[in-house]
Amino acid sequence: MKKYFSFFRLRFTLGLQYRVAALAGIATQFAWGFMEVMIFAAFYRGDKNAFPMSLSATCSYIWLGQGFLAFFATWMMDNEIFDSILKGNIAYELCRPIDIYNIWFSKSVAVRLSRAMLRCFPILLVAAFLPDPYGLAKPESCLHFFLFILTLALGLLVTAAFCMLIYILTFYTISPQGLRILFTSAADFFSGGVIPLPFFPEPVQKIMELLPFAAMQNVSLRIYSGSMETDEMKKAILLQLFWLFILIFTGKILCRRAEKKITVQGG
């Protein structure tokens, strides 16, 4: 545990060193959030009744999405891991007495956590002071805030487990590039990264909510502003746990098979 904490600290310090990069990143994400908010506000002006959730809840969704971008963006993958697979350095890692799935998984989580910690506070703080309904609203209630934190953590783990599948499938494919493109753009769309899931037509939304992608950012960002009923929340959290289990389970099995393949073929 101490090992992971010091790794996290190192990443965080590294992030701080590049202060201009951090500031530029924050500015970019802020601009992105702002433009998104303007788009939804324009649609809201056009037809208030067609809006599936309140404008304020939509804006909170957008700002939280920007604040925790590093948690949920599947395209932010660890190139070190890809390189170690493609260039064969993985052979060294296999020599060490550690479980490769666990070490990569915790590394991915640590990287995402440190990135988000560096960027989320300034973004969320500014967003909180924007005039209502365009800014980040207060959470619906204490309970909602608690559930938000819980589902945020679950969502992070699901995202990391999903990315693990992409890393591991690299072993099995001749074209990791194509696989990566396909998976990340599907994840971006189905997780509610392009538009929040409630904005999809009802039948489409029903199916999308069952997919593993909906267990990423969708749940926590919607729970925060109370746009989910109690039953929906229960179901969503159970689905998060279910997908987390399935993703890790498949990942571990595929990882073990890949390890065998490498040891047999000699890398």
Partner 1 sequence: MKKIISDIKLYKHYISINLRGMMQYKTSFFLSAMGQFLISFNVFLGIFFLFQRFSKVEGFTYSQVLLCFSILLLEFSLAESFARGFDTFSEMVRQGEFDRILVRPRGEILQVLGSNFELTRIGRMLQALVMFVYGVSKSGIDWNLLKILTVFFMILGGTSLFTGLFILQAGLCFFTLEGLEIMNIFTDGAREFGKYPMEVYGRKMLLFTTFLIPYSLVQYYPLLYILERRTSPLYVVLPLAAAWFLFPSLALWKLGVRRYTSSGS
Partner 2 sequence: MITVNHLCKSYRIAKRNPGFTAACKALFHREYEIIHALKDVSFTISDGEMVGYIGPNGAGKSSTIKILSGILTPEGGTVSVDGRVPWKNRIEHVRQIGVVFGQRSQLWWDVPVMDSFELLKDIYSVPTPQYKKSLEELTALLHLEELLRSPVRQLSLGQRMKCEIAASLLHNPRILFLDEPTIGLDAVSKLAVREFILQLNKEKGTTVILTTHDMQDIEALASRIILIGKGQILMDGNIDSIKKGSAAIDETVAELYHSYEVV
Does 182 bind partner 1 (CB under 8 A)? Our answer is: yes
Eight-state DSSP code of residue 141? -
3 binds partner 2 (CB under 8 A): no
Return the one option of partner 1, partner 2, none that residue 207 interacts with (CB less than 5 to 8 A, by type).
none
16 binds, among partner 1, partner 2, none (CB under 5 to 8 A by kind): partner 2
Closest approach of partner 1 to the CB of residue 11, in Å: 17
User: What is the total residue count of the chain?
Assistant: 267
Q: Which does 178 bind (CB under 5 to 8 A by kind): partner 1, partner 2, none?
A: partner 1
Locate 102 and state its tokens: 């666990």
When binding is defined by CB under 8 A, the residue of 5, 6, 16, 132 that contacts partner 2 is 16
CA atoms within 13 Å, Cβ hemisphere of 126:
14
From partner 2, partner 1, none, interface partner of 203 (C-beta below 5 to 8 A by class): none
Candidates 93, 58, 11, 16; CA nearest to 221 is: 58
Candidates 5-13, 154-162, 245-253, 258-266; binding stretch for partner 2 (CB under 8 A): 5-13
End-to-end C-alpha distance for the chain, whole angstroms: 30
CA–centroid distance for 42 within its chain: 27
Distances (CA, A) of 34 to 40, 74, 178, 192: 10, 22, 32, 17
Please answer whether residues 217 and 68 qualify as being in contact, where contact means their C-beta atoms are separated by less than 8 angstroms. Answer: yes
Q: Is 52 in the site for partner 1 (CB under 8 A)?
A: yes
Q: Is 49 in the site for partner 2 (CB under 8 A)?
A: no
Which residue in the set 10, 178, 249, 257 belongs to the binding site for partner 1 (CB under 8 A)?
Answer: 178
Cα separation, 183 vs 108, whole angstroms: 17
Span from 58-66, 84-92, 164-172, 173-181 in contact with partner 1 (CB under 8 A): 173-181
- Apex 125 CA angle, 163 and 59, nearest 5: 70
Query: Binding to partner 2 by residue 13, rule CB under 8 A?
Result: yes
Q: Which residues bind partner 1 (CB under 8 A)?
A: 18-21, 23-25, 27-28, 31-32, 35, 38-39, 42-43, 45-47, 50, 52, 175, 177-178, 181-182, 185, 188-189, 194-195, 199-201, 204
